[in-house]
Amino acid sequence: MVMRQPMRSGQAGTLWASYGRAVVPVALSTVLFVGLIFGYLLPQQERLIIERKKEMLRELTASAVSFLAEHERDSRAGAFSAAEAKRLAVTRLRDMRYGREGKDYFWIIDHQPRMVMHPYRPDLEGKDLSDYRDPDGKALFLEARAQVEAHGEGFVTYRWQWKDDPARVVPKLSYVRGFAPWGYIVGTGIYLDDVHNEMRGLHYRLLTATLLILASIFSLMVYGAKQTIVADSQARKALQELRDSEQKYRLLSEAVGEGSLLAVDGLILHPNRALLELLGCSVDVLVGKPLASLFADDDRTRAMVAALASLADGKTWQGEVELRSPAGGVLQAEVSAVPVEVLGRRGLSVVVRDVSAGKRLAGELARSRERARWLAMRFGLGLFRADAKGFWPLIEADDALARMLGAGKPQDLLGKPLLGFLPDGDEAGRLRAELESASSLRGRAVRVRDLDGRVRTLSISAILTKADEGGASVVDGLVEDVTWRREAEVRLEALQHPAQADLLGDARPIGLLGRPTIGLGMQETVVQAGERLARAGET
């Protein structure tokens, strides 16, 4: 039976944290996606459908009124009497139908109001409609007359029977338009249930598509979370192995010191244990081999061998060369050699220091600095270094800071005081005092005026590096343009009041408000801040 060590609570917590870093961003994106569709796009689409329906009603009613106008012109021309022209026009409109089922219709009232014609309610024709109310008590014909008398046209909402079915009463939106020569008001409308049915179909199609998309996202999320947990577990394992190796190396270096060897007549006589560990070989492999065989065959090595051969007593040779192990590995090493005499024979005492780790560290530091610059560009952050004296005259600046301060290029900012861009001198003084007191600033929002005269809101995070005796203290920091964020906060505050919300409309920068803020710690360098940005970007 295989025994498995139970997972400790700390490990479980770390795994859940890794899972959360993978899942939470996807889950939030999904919620925003669904909210955007059902909270904004669908209501917007419903408004567009209703607007299209209204435009259709305007065009249909305009055609009906044009038909009345044609008969009115014929009566004035003597082709018909006025009464005959009205009868023909009303009869023609009574028979006109449109719509998918061919049951949508026109109706006519006059300004009394009295029903002149209704194809599905002939019982109302000729009757005074002043007291007529729909099931909700709305005087719909009086409102239709008021719209025409006030504006010549308009829309009226009420409840009416479904086309030719008097038993079914539903909400309806009608458009009415006056025809002054005969004192008629022509109307036609749409049933809002049609709009709702159309929206339900659209809801169903979008819901189906959304569920398919969410299923795909969920599958990708599970896969990504699994990969994240595996990668995180491997990283923790590698980190633990690295720590164990460092501990072993520390104990070994304390026990044996640096690598060294004794060479006589150009041949290796005695390598110590540290050197054997460094080269990864046994003592038998090295003893008796030429000293030059430890180094790469290049001009630098040949120059070193020649220099060692002619090295005078009491002199020391020191240089950096490539050290080659018997297994074929190559590493950078700093070599120090001093002449010695062994039983009357000329020899060399050689100390070898492995500097490969230092080279790698230097390379990693350079890459880390480049990564910090890249991350600053990615997140729209400006990097700067300034003299801590006065109002922080700039020593270094990048393109992002130049854009924030209205400069054509970073060189245009060098020597200019960063705090000089603050219109409020007292605030600039407070920033200086706070940095000198606490040695750091974190996310301080200030208003600045750039070289073009524009006012912006910038967030400044900085640390003060105090110089050694005789040196100059410097300020390193990050700058973020948060003008948009301040505007968003103002809008958000305004949205809390209905009157102001009406003025602002739907301009709500949701994506911007969800953006995370990354601050600079008190003891963090710019490079360390960049690494923190990297970790934030990965999550």
Q: Which helix (H) or strand (E) holds 125?
A: none
Give the pLDDT score at 351: 82
Helix, strand, or coil here: 111? coil
Cα-Cα-Cα-Cα torsion 111, 112, 116, 122, nearest 10 degrees, comes to 140
Distance CA(376)–CA(287), nearest Å, equals 54
Same fold, 45-197 and 258-354: yes
What is the C-alpha to C-alpha distance for residues 460 and 443, in angstroms, rounded to an integer? 5
Q: Are 260 and 352 in contact (CB under 8 A)?
A: yes
Q: Taking a C-beta distance cutoff of 8 angstroms, is the pair 202, 181 a contact?
A: no
User: What are the tokens at 147?
Assistant: 């719209």
Mapped onto helix, strand or coil, the DSSP state of residue 260 is strand
Tell me, what's the pLDDT at 492? 72
On whether the CB atoms of residues 309 and 324 are closer than 8 A, the answer is no
Tokens of residue 445, six digits: 């929002």
Instruction: State residue 242's pLDDT score.
Output: 46
Contacting residues for 421 by C-beta, under 8 A, at least 6 apart: 405, 448, 449, 450
pLDDT at 338: 80
Q: Is the bond preceding 119 in cis, omega lying within 30 degrees of 0? A: no
**pLDDT of 121:** 92
Residue the block writes with tokens 């002939």? 122
Residue 358's CB: how many other CB atoms inside 10 A?
12
Instruction: Check if the beta carbon of residue 399 is closer than 8 Å to that of residue 410.
Output: yes
Residue 279: per-residue pLDDT? 79
Number of neighbouring beta carbons within 10 Å of residue 22:
23
User: pTM for the whole thing?
Assistant: 0.38
The domain 45-197 having CATH identifier 3.30.450.20: the answer here is yes
Q: Are 114 and 103 in contact (CB under 8 A)?
A: no
CA distance 194 to 174: 13
* 422-426-430 Cα angle (round to 5): 95
pLDDT of residue 420: 92
Per domain, the residue ranges of the chain are 45-197, 258-354, 360-481+518-538
Mean pLDDT by 10 residues, the chain (539 residues): 46 58 69 75 80 91 94 91 93 91 92 94 93 93 95 94 86 94 94 80 77 78 74 72 49 57 80 79 82 74 73 73 76 79 74 72 62 68 90 91 89 92 91 90 90 91 78 86 78 63 47 50 55 55
Q: Domain spanning 258-354: which superfamily?
A: PAS domain (3.30.450.20)
Q: How far apart are CA 198 and CA 83, in angstroms?
A: 42
Place of tokens 């139908």: 97
**Cα–Cα dist 108/65, whole Å:** 10
Tell the CATH superfamily of the 360-481+518-538 domain.
PAS domain (3.30.450.20)
Q: Is 184 helix (H, G, I), strand (E, B) or coil?
A: strand
Helices (H), 310-439: 356-378, 399-404, 425-438
Beta carbons of 58 and 175 less than 8 angstroms apart: yes
C-alpha–C-alpha distance, residues 71 and 77, integer Å:
10
Which pLDDT score, from 0 to 100, does residue 1 have?
39
pLDDT of residue 535: 61
Other Cβ atoms within 10 Å of 508 Cβ, number: 15
Question: How many helices (H) does the chain have, and how many strands (E)?
Answer: 15, 15
